[in-house]
Each structure stands twice: as C-alpha cells, then as structure tokens.
Copies of this chain bind each other. A is one copy, B any other.
Amino acid sequence: MRGLLVGRFQPFHRGHVDVVRHLRKEHPEETLILGIGSAEESYTSDNPFTAAERYEMIARSLQAESLDQWVAIPIPDIHRHALWVGHVVELLPTFERVYTNNPLTRTLFERAGFEVVSPPMFDRELFEGRSIRRLLREGSTGWRERVPAAVAHYLRELKAEDRLRALPPTATE
C-alpha cells in the first residue's frame, strides 16, 4: 500500500516535514512516495533547485527526523494537464491514495478516480516555498528558521542566496 504526496519542494521546508511526519504516523503501514514535481526545472526563479538537490534536501531532513518508509521520485512535467495523472501513474510506483492541498492536483486525480486526502496544513503562510525563495533572494536570514536544519546547512553549501539573486524574477513575483 502506497500513498503519494506531490510537491515541487523548492525548497523542502518545515511544513513539508510536518506533513510527512503526520502521514507516516497516521498510516504506518503505508509507504509514502514524495513525487518531486517539475523535476526537470531548475535555475529559474520559481524552481531554483534541481531534482537531485531537492532529493538531497528530502533525504537529509527525513533521516535527521528518523522518518522512514518513504521514497522520493522525480516527476518531469508533461505540459498536458489532461494527461498528467496518466503520466504520473506510468512513471511512479503504484499508489492507491493521493495527499494534496492543491486544488488542481485534487481535480485531476479525482477525475481519474483516485481517493484524494487533504493533509492538515501546518502554518502554511509561514512555510510556503514562495516566501522562502523571496527571503533567499533578498538575503534575509528569515529563511533559515523556515527550513529544517539539514536543509539550511545544504542551502548554504549550494550558495542558494547567490543563485536566487542571479535568476530573473518571474511575472508572478
């Protein structure tokens, strides 16, 4: 039995860790698949980190929290929303349940007949990816407390602040 949590994890933050901890506790028999969305995107303002880097953030954080029975798998974009669920089903290990708070992800999986569950949102405003990316770009230290210690350390290794500053802002920022 497997459940799927889809995210872009740009970066993997404390809100994500809380959701994983909650799901592992609620469904101890389930293996949790973390689907790394827009996997082929990187070095853009909305998707600054490669899938490899995002895997590293996930693995280091969940190991530090002693959370196990998870796998993380990249999901490249297909740029065809009506086919996206079929694309995910074809590429990822088989799963029976989907966890998401994203309305479009919910719509697409429900249309395909999947059970979709909204995990509780832990302090979403504080932890959401866009704010953290903005803080990184601005060089404000506020991003550090919003990510697990392992991610904070890794982002320093990657010189994430410098990287973000080099990326042209997107229209929605």
Q: How far is the CB of A154 from chain B (nearest CB, A)?
A: 11
Chain A residues numbered 120-154 whose CB sits less than 8 Å from any CB in chain B: none
* Contact present for A168 and B104 (CB under 8 Å): yes
Q: How far is the CB of A34 from chain B (nearest CB, A)?
A: 12
* Contact present for B94 and A90 (CB under 8 Å): no
Give the size of the chain A interface in residues (CB under 8 angstroms).
43
Which residues does chain B contribute within 8 Å of A89, judged by CB atoms? 52
Copies of this chain assembled into the complex: 6
* Contact present for B172 and A52 (CB under 8 Å): no
* Contact present for A166 and B103 (CB under 8 Å): yes
* Contact present for B91 and A87 (CB under 8 Å): no
How far apart are the CA atoms of A40 and B76 in the complex, in Å? 11
Which residues does chain B contribute within 8 Å of A104, judged by CB atoms? 43, 166-168
Residue A28, interface by CB 8 Å: no
* Contact present for A55 and B93 (CB under 8 Å): yes
Q: Which residue of B lies closest to A74 (CB)?
A: B91
Residue A24, interface by CB 8 Å: no
* Contact present for A50 and B171 (CB under 8 Å): no
The answer, among B44, B76, B90, B162, for a CB contact under 8 Å with A52, is B90
Nearest first, the 7 closest Cβ-Cβ pairs linking A and B are: A43-B81, A103-B166, A171-B171, A107-B166, A55-B93, A82-B90, A42-B82
Q: Give 4 new A-B contacts, CB below 8 A, not counting A40-B90, A50-B91.
A: A43-B81, A52-B93, A82-B90, A83-B83
Binding site for B on A (CB under 8 A): 39-44, 50-52, 55-56, 59, 71-74, 76, 80-83, 86-87, 89-94, 103-104, 106-108, 162-163, 165-168, 170-172
